[in-house]
Amino acid sequence: MNVPFYIAKRYLISKKSHNVINIISWISVAGIGVGTLALIVVLSAFNGLQTLVEDLYASFDPDIKITAVTGKTFHISDFPKEEIASHKDVEFCLESIEDVALFKYNDKQTVATLKGVDPSFYKMTGLDSLMFEGKVRFDDEETNYLHLGYGIADNLSLYLGSKFQEKVSVIVPKRGNKKSFVPTDEFNRKYASAAGVFSVSPDFDSKYVLSSLSFAQELLNHKNKISSIELKINTNANLDMVNNEIKVIVGANYKVQTRYELNELIFKTNETEKWITFLILTFILIIASFNIVGSLTMLIIDKKKDVWILKTMGANNSLIQKIFFAEGMLINLLGAFTGMVLGALICWVQQTFGLLRLNGGIVDFYPVELQLMDFINVTGIVLVIGLLASWYPARILTKKHL
């Protein structure tokens, strides 16, 4: 039988122990529990936000984007597209072109980014399932179609349900032309019908209008030229490994970036906020651990008689120290276990029932996601704090008071 653990357990949960010291010990358990619960819940909330951001950007940005190092466009004939498309981990390899354009509808106008895409773009990103109004339609012989972000459509007061719906005018400056005294000669203009309005996130909804690749190339006078190659890789593939392999294939004339590199600031900011919050809550947990030091100190002073009895029975100082150290660790571990269980339960309830709702948000309820690594990190930090908070009274104060 583990004597130190047995005695420490009796000190903590004995039915006859209802004195002030015992109450303080249970307050210490509660303090560690609340701190641990807060860590689990907050970290899970950040995980949920991270996943939400990743999903939103995956609805528009490719896994890997390839652009020219110099210039805004490049000839597709100069690019090793077939070699990229045949890569074992590449699921989609699509061309796109984009530039800023002026959009006019009735008496409204707004500036946005026109992006010409391959028809498979909607399947690659899943954007076809994020249509707020209308549906995805592809150009035919008579009509070119546009798919507008919700913010752009709102700026133009464009509603697909309107009985009398005019075409949208898309205007860009002509490339390489000399100045003309006739303003209309300075611009290219094409007309297209609005087929759908998508809603991804404000970043995209207020920036992009999608068209067919041929429509954008003709309007921008970029025949057989593109702005980028967009790739989607297989789910089980290693993104960084594929990214490095693609860099070798395309050479130094092209820039190859993952979705995380394209939006590096957003992802790094979220990650930094998560770990700063982790450090702040850890500091609060350290403060809560002073209750352990206080309760052990009072317990050591209160149990002088018990210690004297143990010593007459042959117990040495090492055994006495182990008893009080075990008491501190019991307080710490009991609080940590309770906090983790309750924290996981709260997150599960939020995931399952969505109690904390977000009215008018991108999602219906606040996203949370439990991750094993968070539990490992929290367990590690709680154990370190508990070891230090238990070691000092058990090692130092027992020598002073016993």
Q: What is the DSSP string of 232-256?
A: EE-TTS-HHHHHHHHHHHH-TTEEE
The residues near 304 (Cβ < 8 Å, ≥ 6 apart) are 401, 402
CB 116 within 8 A of CB 211: yes
- Give the CA angle between residues 120, 122, 123 to the nearest 5°: 65
pLDDT attached to residue 67: 95
Delimit the domains of the chain by residue range: 3-57+266-401, 64-262
**Could you tell me where the beta strands, DSSP code E, fall in 26-83?**
64-68, 74-75
Q: Is the model's pLDDT at 361 over the cut of 70?
A: no
Report the distance separating Cα 220 and Cα 234, nearest Å.
33
| Token duo for residue 341 | 């269980």
Flag whether pLDDT at 16 surpasses 70: no
DSSP string, 170-220: EEEEPSSPPP-SSGGGGEEEEEEEEEEEE-S-HHHHTTEEEEEHHHHHHHT
DSSP code of residue 257: E
40-44, 126-130, 349-353 — which is least confidently predicted?
A: 126-130
The pLDDT value given to residue 144: 94
Nearest to 148 by CA among 161, 160, 139: 160
| 119: phi then psi, degrees, rounded to nearest 5 | -55, -30
Q: 187-231 pLDDT, tens per residue?
A: 899 999 999 999 888 889 999 999 999 999 999 999 889 999 999
User: If DSSP codes are grouped into helix, strand and coil, which group holds residue 27?
Assistant: helix
Task: Give mean pLDDT, residues 139-152.
Answer: 92
Q: Which neighbouring-strand residues pair with 117? A: 96, 212
Residues counted in the chain: 402
pLDDT band at 293 (very low <50, low <70, confident <90, very high): confident
